[in-house]
Chain A
């Protein structure tokens, strides 16, 4: 299963609404997670089962799905959201990740 993530890079201002898309090459039910990785750190789980917010993650992060198209939305971008975001499916092996989206703060 291939995951095509877009865009690969985006630049936005504090307070902007940001949307990242991940398209699966075939149906994966809702077996998709989103991770945030800050420079020099390990990835951190944000969202799983396409739209369930991990405990402790700010509510400005949300996930949605339509068929094989998955979306991560940051409703109001904050300076601490500077990071690279990855989607990952866990429907079946081999597990795969999207190529990543680097978010820059203008």
Chain B
């Protein structure tokens, strides 16, 4: 069974940092692109960042570019999102999701991790 389990969310002050993790199991981790998608309270879905199967190709949404860093550890089947210079508008549930390389949808999602940026 495919599982994506996010952790690391919580309450952080504006300007602070947080690191999310997503532990994967039930599939061949190195075959897939991993991504983060967020959802602000009561709002829609927003793609944040993606990382290729080997970590070479990385993409970011303009809203987080220069502040967030995605990475993966293929030996631990885990993907990370380092979030710096956090703002109130980064408050959201952060979902981890996987997809095949090339043009493909997100075929599995984790349950999400809530990040709250507030003083």
What is the interface of chain A, defined by CB distance below 8 A to chain B? 29, 31, 33, 35, 37, 41-45, 48, 54, 86, 88, 90-91, 93-100
Q: Let me know if B59 is at the binding interface, CB within 8 A.
A: yes
CA A44 – CA B111 in complex, angstroms? 11
A97 touches B44 (CB 8 A): yes
CA A94 – CA B45 in complex, angstroms? 13
What is the interface of chain B, defined by CB distance below 8 A to chain A? 35, 44-47, 50, 59, 61-62, 95, 99, 103-112
B99 touches which of A44, A54, A90, A98 (Cβ 8 Å): A90
CA A97 – CA B47 in complex, angstroms? 8
**Known A-B contacts A42-B95, A93-B59, A95-B50; A88 and B44 likewise in contact (beta carbons under 8 Å):** no
With a cutoff of 8 Å between Cβ atoms, the chain A residues found around residue B105 in the complex are: 33, 45, 48, 88, 90
**Known A-B contacts A43-B95, A90-B99; A97 and B45 likewise in contact (beta carbons under 8 Å):** yes
B44 touches A100 (CB 8 A): yes
- What would 6 A/B residue contacts be, using CB atoms closer than 8 Å? A42-B95, A42-B111, A45-B108, A54-B107, A94-B47, A97-B44
CA A88 – CA B95 in complex, angstroms? 15
A90 touches which of B61, B104, B109 (Cβ 8 Å): B104
A43 touches B45 (CB 8 A): yes
CA A100 – CA B62 in complex, angstroms? 21
Name the residue on B nearest A52 (C-beta). Answer: B105
**Known A-B contacts A48-B104, A90-B99, A90-B104; A42 and B47 likewise in contact (beta carbons under 8 Å):** no
**Known A-B contacts A93-B50, A97-B45; A45 and B62 likewise in contact (beta carbons under 8 Å):** no
Question: Which residue of B35, B44, B95 has the most chain A CB atoms within 10 A of its CB atom?
Answer: B44
A94 touches B106 (CB 8 A): no
With a cutoff of 8 Å between Cβ atoms, the chain B residues found around residue A97 in the complex are: 44-47
CA A52 – CA B48 in complex, angstroms? 26
Q: Give me the 3 closest cross-chain CB pairs, A-B, nearest first.
A: A33-B105, A42-B109, A95-B47
B103 touches which of A41, A43, A91 (Cβ 8 Å): A91
What's the nearest-Cβ distance from chain A to residue B38, in Å? 11
CA A37 – CA B43 in complex, angstroms? 12
